[in-house]
Structure 1
Amino acid sequence: MQLVEPLEFGKYYHIYNRGINSENLFKENRNHEHFLKLYNKHIEPIAETFAWCLLKNHFHLLVRIKSFEEILQSHEEYEIKKIIAPHQSFGNLFNAYTKAINKGYNRHGALFERPFKRKLIDNDSYLRAVIKYIHYNPVNHGFCKHPIEYPWSSYETCISERPTKLKREKVIVLFENTENLKILHNQKENFDSLEQFLNL
């Protein structure tokens, strides 16, 4: 039986997964939109989001699980007993999305590999590297030549000024400023060592 690292309150995680048997998770634009809508419902109350990217058959998320106190503050109308474990919130997201895809495309059974993958991020250098890796994922898979060209990631939000729930200010501080974030995202990088660590 595979050991799964629990998601702990107050800690940063790179969360990623793919479709079972490499099946496409996102078949058309409305699928990306629905996933993000469900993400907002299930994950935004329990986690801060720093980066995300949705590819055809897999996804990457970089989050900080809120502290128990922070979750309580955002759930003032609920009783403490109704606050579920963070991993269950992600499970609820994936289950809700699977049900929608199964209904919409006349399929049945699991859609995602289980358990979903997660890696603890314990320093700012690693955090910066994973943010850039997530934004560069569409480039690495041949969907575009630069992260700005891919619509289903957080990169464009990071360099824009439009309202967002993404922790954009914290991301910019990690890269010192917006200009430096852009410069570093213009520099191609070899992510082989990171991918080996992630077992991709």
Structure 2
Amino acid sequence: MKLEVLEKDCYYHIYNRGINGTTIFENDGNKLYFLKQLAKYSADKISIFAYCLMNNHFHLIVRLNVEEKEVTQAFSNLFNSYAKAFNKQINRTGSLFEKHFKRIKLKDENYLKQLIVYIHLNPKHHFNLDFRNFKFSSFQAYLSDKQTKIERNEGLNLFDDLENFIFCHNQKDNLLNETYTFE
């Protein structure tokens, strides 16, 4: 599989999972450490618009602020540092993530908006959890006034405002509820 070439100033859906679907986050501490390492290695290299950390995979929406080589190296450093710490913690060896992180270039603003909602609803998709209260997605950062690494203002502008941001998430959530209702 040929990987998408990363381009400066473009938006991407970055995601990966544990090798063979294995767990990559065993607890909240693992997820917090991953986010800490993400901030450390990606500072000024990418802008983050959304994220969600599930037990066996993660999703990010990013915009590249520098050239591909720097971003690819930053992600490599992030994944290597996280895998080493995780493996040490649970006394395991070997690869943690699938070989390459996946990346899809987002071609238009509408797709970007839909993907932000999709990523925030990931806990609902996989575990029927209320995405509004899920601790390890960027949804709460959009609702908060606290300082964040998320491009909150720019992200909200895509939806026009916070009210419409929430409305779009609730609409998609309602569709998911209807999809899973059996009579």
**TM-score, length-normalised on structure 2?**
0.91
CA 112–138 in structure 1, closer or farther in 2 if over 3 Å, else same? same
* Aligned match of 2:160: 176
Q: Is the 8 Å Cα contact of residues 6 and 87 (structure 1) preserved in structure 2?
A: no
* Aligned match of 2:12: 13
Decide which of 86, 93, 97 is 1:108's aligned counterpart. 93
Give the unaligned 5+ runs of structure 1.
Answer: 69-82, 192-200
Give 1:10 deviation, angstroms. Answer: 1.2
How much identity, in percent, do the aligned residues show?
A: 42
Give 1:143 deviation, angstroms. Answer: 4.5
Give the unaligned 5+ runs of structure 2.
Answer: 177-183
Q: Is the 8 Å Cα contact of residues 21 and 56 (structure 2) preserved in structure 1?
A: yes
Structure 1 stretches of 4+ with a deviation exceeding 6 A read none
* Aligned match of 1:89: 74
Provide the secondary structure at the position in 2 that maps to 1:53: strand
Separation in 2, partners of 1:120, 1:188: 22
* Aligned match of 2:48: 49
Q: Over aligned residue pairs, what C-alpha RMSD do you find?
A: 1.6
**Are 1:148 and 2:148 counterparts?**
no
Separation in 2, partners of 1:143, 1:162: 27
Give the letter aligned to residue 129 of structure 2.
C
Deviations 1:2-32 (A, max 9, x none): 2111211111100001000111010011000
Question: 5 Å matches for 1:133-144?
Answer: 133-144=118-129
**TM-score, length-normalised on structure 1?**
0.83
* Aligned match of 1:30: 29
Separation in 2, partners of 1:58, 1:84: 24
Deviations 1:122-167 (A, max 9, x none): 211010011001000011112513x211110000111111111210
